[in-house]
Every structure is written in C-alpha cells, then in structure tokens.
A and B are shown apart, each in its own frame.
Chain A
C-alpha cells in the first residue's frame, strides 16, 4: 500500500504543475474517436507546427471526450496564472491563431472561447462562461465521466492524482462482504440495459465455490450510434479497470477479461497501455499491493456480431464457440466462462464501482431516485442541437434531456428512440416520462445501454422501424424460431408497406409476430427486437395507417410513397434547387415560382436540403396512385 500512496503523492504534485503551470503553458486536445472524426489529428499537427515555428515551449496533452461532441475538435489552453480555457470547433487555422495569440501575445481571445474551468471571477473578468455552466453541461452530474476530457487517458498518474485506485485500496482493507454491502446501499443497477441490481450478481459470484473464477467486462457496445462505453474507455480506461480489479478481489476471481469490439481500435490501444501501466505499478499480477490477491486482465476483441453483447453469447464467443446465447439458468455467476463462476458486467457498471467504493454507497444514493439511484451516461444524438455524451441522474425527464441539455430541435420535435435498436420510440406526449428502468419498459421501450436518438418531422417512423428491424434480422444469431423468423416476417411486412403494397391485415400480422417474439424468444435480442415496430405502431399508428391505406409518407422519406412539390407561397425563386437537381426535374426562372416534375424526380433530397425556405414538401404520390388503385380493384 505504501508505495502506491507514495506514487499518488508524487502524481498529485505533478498534476498540480499541470493544473497550475508555473512557466510552461499546457495545451489540451480532445483526441477520442469523436474528436478525431472531427479532425483533431490535423489540429494536433497544426499545434505542433505552430509551436515549432514560433519556438514556443508548451506541453501538449491529448485527452479524451468531455461530452459535447458537437463542439469537437476541442482545444484547451492553460496559461500560467490562468485557468484552463476551452475553444470549440477548432480548425487547424483557428488553432494556429489561438496558440499564437495566447502564447506569444498573452491574448486568450475571449470571444473565441467556449468555456473555462476556473472560478466565477474569471467569468466576470473575461465574459467566458464556465464550461460546466454551459446549457448542455449544467444539468449533468458527472460521476463516471468525472475525468473524461480532463486527463490524459494514457497516463496512469493523472488517474491516480484524481483519487484513482483509492476505491480499490479501500476494498483491500475491507472484506468482500462489506464491498458488496456498499454496492447494495448504492443501489447500482447493471448499466448494460437490463438493470439487474449489481450487488446481487457480485454476491452470487462470491458465493459460488470453484477452483477459479473470471471477471468479464462487456465492452462489445453494438448499438449503432452508441458510444458511451467507447468514450469511457478512450477517455478514462482506468476507471473501468479499477472496477474490474475491485470485482475480482470481491468475488475471488483471478483472471479478468475485457471483451472489446474490434471496431474500437483506439479503445483497445488505450486499454493495452493502461494495463501495462497497472503492471508497472504493481496493480496487476501476483500478490497485488501485498494483499495476497492475484489478478490479471487480458483483452479479447470481438469479431463483428451484435449478439455477442448478450452475456451468454459473449461467454460462448470467449470459449471459441459460435456466439449464440445460452439458456439461463445456469447463470454465469454460477457457471460461466469455461464452466467457472463468472462476474460479467457492462463497462459502465465497472466504471462506476470505483467512485462508489471511494465515496461510499450512500453518496451514490443521493443522485437519482429511490430504486433508480445514481447517474447514467447517454449518447444524445440525432436531430437535436447539442449532440454528444451526457451523464445525468436517473429520474430526469426526457423533456429536460432533449430540450434543456440538448437544446431542442430545429424543426418540430417528433419522437425519441431510447435504448438502442432494441428500444422503443416515444412520442412528444411521453416526454414527461422520467428516465428509469421501469418507466421505459412501461412505455414500451427500454433503458438499454443509453442511446437517445432524437427525431424531428423529417423522420419517418415506419422507415425507422424498418431500419431497426433490418438490423435485428441481420444480427440475430438465428438459433431460436421466434427471433429468426419473426424478424424476417416483420421486415418483409414493413418493406411491403414502404413499397406501397401495405394491406389492412399487416398491422395485426406485425402485432402478433411481435407478441410471439417477446414472449417466446430465447434471449433479450429476440424479446426486444420488435420494440421499435411495436412502439411505432402504438404511438404513431396514424403514420402507419397513412402508409398502408393512403400510400403516403408525410415525412417524405419512403420514396415510393410521396412525390416532391414546391409550395408556391414559400418559393422565392432563388434558383438553388434548379442548380442542384441532377436530373433537371425542376424548372423555373429567377424570381419566378419553380416547378418540380414528379415523374423525373429521383428523390435524392438535394433540393430539400438546399432550400432555405423549406418550400419543398412531400405530397401523396399521384404517379403511382393509378397503379395502386388498379391493384386494389384486382384484390
């Protein structure tokens, strides 16, 4: 223990020189996958070039994701004597300008700054808001994301300086039962989606007697568009690893495995580094910190199957078998990997454990509401203004999240998809729902791993249902009848509807299929795959009926079910749509109302995107109406 404390003391000292530099400024760059996708690596090059060119001395640190991905690339600068100031949407040119201005001229360009990490006084002095007071961040409670975007994920000392591994040290001094007690008091529920009380799983695994046990971290985040786990691992990998270490110690396991999807190479690289550093500090290996506890963590990569995020399928995959879910019981806590008791939890669950151990279970309870304590990360994406990774206490309403944190939608709000591809779609009238495991389920959706996809009136719910069921159809393992065939039936029916061949009985067919899938499937994928379709039919029945009976897609997405028309009252004759149309379907002189020929239009949406007046709308498809009337006469 002693040497870890000593290391931490030194780390704290080093951190202080970073947070309050004496003479060398520090430049931070958001360099998780979101930042990189926005161009952070180009910005990094620009920073380095600028420093070289002007012969400036500065420490450049790549950090993880701080949350508001719509602001990436984010670059922060701490000048000696000043707090850390953050600049958003930084391009290489902008970076150059800011670096030169700050480091050479001492002018931090307050007008360009997005926020700072100092005190109210600094705000008063410069007019720059505090970063965490920004509308997107203010309502958030950052427990799991505490270090994300602020520390260098590839430096264990930074983690130690923030109190990292104190949770583990506390666990080592207590006994396994007290650790489990803390978890119980905290009320932490599995963050992978099912919401099973975490302490129960740990308790079962501890109670199982065997010659060895495993701890497995499920980092196979397969939901399309979800990146909570990715961001956590890329920004603060030690939080997850410390959680696994605590889990291993508490349950008596000796081998940890973190199963990461192969599509996360940066996360894998950072994990490898972090594990190496743990070994160097004696936090992995034999007789850790003199406690007699042996533990090691290995990384195993997935191979591109969503179904391997299901815990028993994941275990099958680790065993070298086909990733097919297995019936439970027996539960992994009793009989898991290679037949041994296995504690398998989601990345975020493990990521939360260290802070619970560090601050106590009661501390965690203060967030959230009884039965749904603590905080959860969500990825807020879609048609909302402020997209990114957020962390809020459970029990916050959808309305608060979308409108307060997300800044609302530009076009009228239509729906929100929660929980990923196996979650349901809720409408505006459900926006006062507080996000809890139970309420989501009651509304016909799930909490899932925390994806929140916001949709506006330009989204077609039927098309959205079709997209998600197509996903489930391809990702189903194919083992059990209801899921394998049910997803196909739903897909065939939705495609039929979207092609304009919908029939009245299709709604009942889908309802019946959905019920069979939910009741009779072997695993969670089959049980939940029909959620987008079912909730779509529940809350947006009129839209489905319009598709089926009227052959009309009001959102103008289903190409067979609408044609474009230019509203005379809105058209300003600017000619932009004429110039972008690749098939010359629009004609019209300047300052004169334009006309669109539906029979030539290929529905590429280019004109819609370019029209500032929203003058192009979708109307029922008259070209195909005759054909459908004919079919109706025949049938």
Chain B
C-alpha cells in the first residue's frame, strides 16, 4: 500500500522534471499581457503633441474608487495644451485607490485616458502613489512639440475637438 503511494508520488515528480517549467525569470523575462488587460493609465496626445485631455472631469465622475482628481483651466492661443477651450491643469490618479476597472476610459469623450499594459507599480510612500499629469502623459510623438504650444489664432475654434470615427 505504502509502496504504491510512494511510486505514484514519485511518478509525478519524475514526470514534471522532464516538462517545460511554467515559471519565468521575472524581471529578466516578462510574460505578455492579454489583449484586454488593464494596467497603468496614460494620457494620450495628438500627433502634433497637443494633449487629448480636455479636463472635463468625466473620468473622475465615472471613477467608482474616487481615485482621479482633475482641475481645469482655459487654453489660450499663446499657451495651448489641448485643441479645445479647456485643458486639465491638474490631473492626478491615486494608484492605491484605482481598481483598474477602466470606467475612466469609457467615460472619456476624447479618448485621452487609456489603460495600458504596465502593471509594474510599486511605491515606498503613499504620496508616491499619486501619479501626476506629467507622469501620466505619454511620450511626445515624433514631429510633435511639447505643451504649452503657441498657435495661430483661428486654428482651434471648437470647445471640444470633433471626434472623427471614434475607435469604440
């Protein structure tokens, strides 16, 4: 009886010795995330470098964890952050509060906030968990210039930029 149990156990051990291991050497190796995985947010830009975020605070309203804080201010042609009338002067996400539900992404009228695939978030201080707008803004696309930009009058005349063929 004991011998049978022993052999059965050792069989599993021996069998797994010849199988491919499931563990990977993180952080040297990384496993790709699923297509619909929701990780750390980023605030997107248009190709010319202007921010997509118009500071409407709808993400903050949609957020079930009250993790987002937005304050907005008005664009001028001398200092333009976004194509519309309004931009986010303060944009903060408290990553300790965020539950990565993606409601903010759904609420966003300009597809500015997008949850990416970055899950590597660690902090040594609670205050470090608050990501500011500078940390959330994506890198400048090639050919774009940093905000605030100085633009010619009469180019950006709409309150909210027109959304042509939204992705979803």
A binds B: no
Residue positions of B touching A, CB distance < 8 A: none
